[in-house]
Amino acid sequence: MSDNHTGKKSLLPEIATGERKIEHVRISLTEDVSGVGVTSGLEKYRFRHRALPETDFEAISLETSFLGRPVRTPLLISSMTGGSQATGAINERLAAAVEARGWALGVGSVRAAVEREELAYTFRVRKHAPTIPVIANLGAVQLNYGFGAEECRRAVDIAGADMLVLHLNGLQEVFQPEGNTNFSGLLAKIEQVCRQLEVPVGVKEVGWGIDGETAALLLEAGVKFIDVAGAGGTSWSQVEKHRSQDPMRRRAAEAFAGWGNPTAECVAEVRKTSAEAGLIGSGGLQSGVDAAKVLALGADLAGFGRSMLGPAVESEETLHAVLAQVEFELRTAMFGIGAADIAALRATDRLVRISP
């Protein structure tokens, strides 16, 4: 680890170790891995300003609930990392910060810890976040490679989680040197996990988006929540391009830099599919205004990923400052349309589409 300009310890390792999780963090922070020619779609919406908001800014409430769990804010740090000493330290810092501010927390794939007990400590975030909702995470494709309900339970137990999300990352697995690409028959296996686990099971993408049609199949199978994780933020084909030693795959990854379903479209489609299912809007969110937009489009929580990774690596102070800014921006957007609480924001008619 290194000292940053504030004199605090940065959590970014100085020497590349070859560990996949550390490589992902380094590449995400040091390379341009955003999608090209595709956006979250949130820029196509704006709020109609209400000059007379008839509410007290200081009284605006961010409190809400997710799958019956009360939360102090409708905000989530999306699944990012874990599985090594360095990335475990990032998880600790994230957990402590979101506990202090009342956000929810998703951890990165717990697969490494399920397979190797000595890595479990890198995902044990509950001791740092005793009250907030915590979401454990596994790759859905692992259900085709020997994982079942017991491994899913183990992942939940390691993280001390309230729920489990299975991530769908087909294109990443294709471009990943060590990828698992057999996605056949997964829906039935996801349904089995939903029936057997004692905690709610959700499904998320990793940056290419879950559309309404796919969400309908998942919800019918028993999935309790969807994290759309749409296009507009990190493109994992671009991340894996920087890891690959295969010239052909590196060139091919460029053709997929613009792939994916925009976040705004996914949120609207999934909410239209089901009025009751838990819904997380993530993918390219950069501000509290973006969070307000996905909530107004129908999401229950707004998820932030890579935009929080840099601050988390830099220092505790930087991370807390960024979280506070997002909350302030969200409250200000609500004040600007006269929404006194999250229910009013989700019911607003003041979000308008300004371009096709």
Q: Enumerate residue ranges in the chain where pLDDT < 50.
A: 1-7, 14-18
CA distance between the termini of the chain: 46
Chain segment 10-50, per-residue pLDDT in tens: 675 544 444 776 787 778 877 888 888 899 999 999 999 99
* Residue 124: per-residue pLDDT: 95
Instruction: Return phi, psi of residue 29, to 5°.
Output: -90, -20
- What count of residues does the chain have? 356
Strand partners, 139: 167
Identify whether the C-beta of residue 163 lies closer than 8 Å to the C-beta of residue 224: yes
Tokens of 189: 């296996």
pTM above 0.75, yes or no: yes
Chain segment 224-233, per-residue pLDDT in tens: 999 999 999 8
CA distance 120 to 107: 12
Chain segment 182-234, per-residue pLDDT in tens: 999 999 999 999 999 999 999 999 999 999 999 999 999 999 999 999 999 88
CA distance 52 to 178: 56
The radius of gyration of the chain's CA atoms, rounded to the nearest angstrom, is 19
Within a 10 A sphere around the Cβ of 290, how many other Cβ atoms?
27
